[in-house]
Amino acid sequence: MWSWVLHRITGVLTFFFLFVHVLDTALVRVSPDTYNEVIETYKTPLVNLLEVGLVGAVLFHALNGIRVMLVDFWEKGPKFQKPMLWTILAIWVVVMIPGAFFMMKRTVETLFGGN
């Protein structure tokens, strides 16, 4: 049940991100200066943390979507749905740990000093 709930939540979060992305990109045609100001606000540590969350949500949604398709269309899918869930969670962790590290590296160096 939790994978179902997380799948819906990550889908809605991804939709809202795409909506905001289309709106802020449309600003370039209306007012390039406003667009540049908005883009500057995206370079903050908080937004960087939100970007990591977005990548995590999109990755989980994609992997769980593959699992849902296998459960629905593969005759042995329902039998293996729990092992597939643990597999996608393991893949998610393996991808997200280095991904989050490289995404947050510049922000951490800016906040706490570094090379």
Which residues are part of a known binding site? 61
Other C-beta atoms lying within 10 Å of the C-beta of residue 7:
17
Residue 63 backbone dihedrals phi, psi, to 5 degrees: -65, -40
Specify whether the CB–CB gap between 71 and 50 falls below 8 A: no
Indicate the annotated binding residues for heme.
Answer: 61
Q: Which of 85, 83, 79, 82 is nearest to 64 (CA)?
A: 85
